[in-house]
Structure 1
Amino acid sequence: MKVIKILILILNLYVGGFMIYGSLGKFKPSSKPTEIIEKVQKGEEVAPNEEVLKIKNYIFGMKQSGFFWQFLGIMEFLAGILLVSQVFSRIGAIIALPLTVNIFLFHLFLEGHEIGELIQTFALLIANIILIGSTYKIWKPLLYDKGILKTI
């Protein structure tokens, strides 16, 4: 049991640290939301190849909303702090799950040729699933409650 507790602690720190690190870049001042459009209108090169263009367009779409890129950063930071705290790690793992799924799918479909990053993001996703699975008995009643059927 002690080994499992240490493993959970390490996974909390791994996923939490990854979330915090990833969030920090989203708060830096970035170029204006219309930068890519203006480059295209001027006839300037936006990306050296189609793969990079897809990535830029994906991130550009989130930045162009004016808030989503920063919101993503806030949620990553919140999940990371909750995971690292150990006290609130269960809710942090649940908040981090859609983020880790998105990060993995981003790398799978837009950077599939980057095997190292693909392995790293897959490990992040698996670590997050393990964290949620390790507390299954605690959050199971939130998903399935037999008692509700008896009251009807």
Structure 2
Amino acid sequence: MRVQDLKRAVVLQLAVIYTRYLLGGAFVFASIIKIKGHRFTTLSGELSPINSAMHFFETMYQSGLYWQFIGLGQCVAGLLLLTQRYALLGAVLFLPIISNVFVITVSYSFFGLTPLITGAMLLATVGLLAWDANSLQPLLNRPSVELPTSALYQSKIWEVAGLLLFMSTAGYRAFIDHYDFLLWAGVCTALGGAALLAAWLRYRKQQPAAVPQGF
């Protein structure tokens, strides 16, 4: 299958949009606590690889400004992904950050599914960059080629929904320290579902009416 055909596939277009929402929302969610200057974990006296990782994060937290700078970088990258319009720049910024996070989780033998989750986020970021590879061609001294997508993919509704997702996530984390993850996830899911419904209805309305047979 040619790249042009992949870019025209509505299922892939929606997958790209919601991957940006997922990655961007996760980064914004995790960044606000750092910008506020709070730590996100506590230390124990047990000697273990995971506790060494906690000491590593505690050292970054104690730096103050550097801890907040990391949070700001995460927040900017997440916001750019959520905007959809500037998602390519967001993915470019996202890649080195999530690469570092992934290597840290592997190096310190994080428990459970953490390395799998960060690895999946890294692969998803690479996928987003591959989706917009045609726009990155000038970096390789090659001309950029515009590949057509659908009106559904280009709908401004996705940008509005991204802004609402950012405002709800950043606002919630800014004012509430003891958050309810399920509540936040439920609000984000509702916003994402409403955006899909609105964008699809508008897309269907803009489609030309079918011409009856015989005309």
Q: Same fold (TM over 0.5)?
A: yes
59-68 or 6-15, which deviates more: 59-68
The code of the aligned residue for 2:12 comes to: I
Once the two structures are superposed, residues 68-101 of structure 1 have per-residue CA deviations (whole angstroms, 9 ceiling, x without a partner) of 1111100100011110111110000000001110
Larger Rg: 2
SS at match of 2:126: helix
Correspondence list, 1:28-107, <5 A: 28-30=36-38, 47-107=45-105
The code of the aligned residue for 2:78 comes to: G
The code of the aligned residue for 1:89 comes to: A
The code of the aligned residue for 2:45 comes to: A
Give the match for residue 145 of structure 1.
Answer: 141
Once the two structures are superposed, residues 3-62 of structure 1 have per-residue CA deviations (whole angstroms, 9 ceiling, x without a partner) of 11101101101110111111122133447xxxxxxxxxxxxx953223243112311332
Q: What TM-score comes out, normalization by structure 2 length?
A: 0.56
Distance 1:72 1:49 in 2: 27
SS at match of 2:113: helix
22-31 or 11-20, which deviates more: 22-31
Gaps of 5+ in 2: 1-8, 144-215
Distance 1:56 1:117 in 2: 14
Once the two structures are superposed, residues 95-124 of structure 1 have per-residue CA deviations (whole angstroms, 9 ceiling, x without a partner) of 000111011111111134x23112111111
Distance 1:115 1:30 in 2: 24
Please, what is the CA RMSD of the aligned residues? Answer: 2.1
SS at match of 2:45: coil
Q: What TM-score comes out, normalization by structure 1 length?
A: 0.77
* Residues 20 and 87 in structure 2, CA contact (< 8 A), matched pair in contact too: yes
Q: Structure 1 residues 146, 6: CA separation in 2 closer, same or farther (over 3 Å shift)?
A: closer
Distance 2:51 2:125 in 1: 30
Identity of aligned residues (%): 24
Q: How many residues align?
A: 132
Greater helix fraction, Structure 1 or Structure 2:
1
Give the match for residue 27 of structure 2.
Answer: 19
Distance 1:21 1:12 in 2: 14
Q: Structure 1 residues 141, 110: CA separation in 2 closer, same or farther (over 3 Å shift)?
A: same
Distance 1:30 1:100 in 2: 20
- 2:17 maps to which of 5, 9, 21: 9
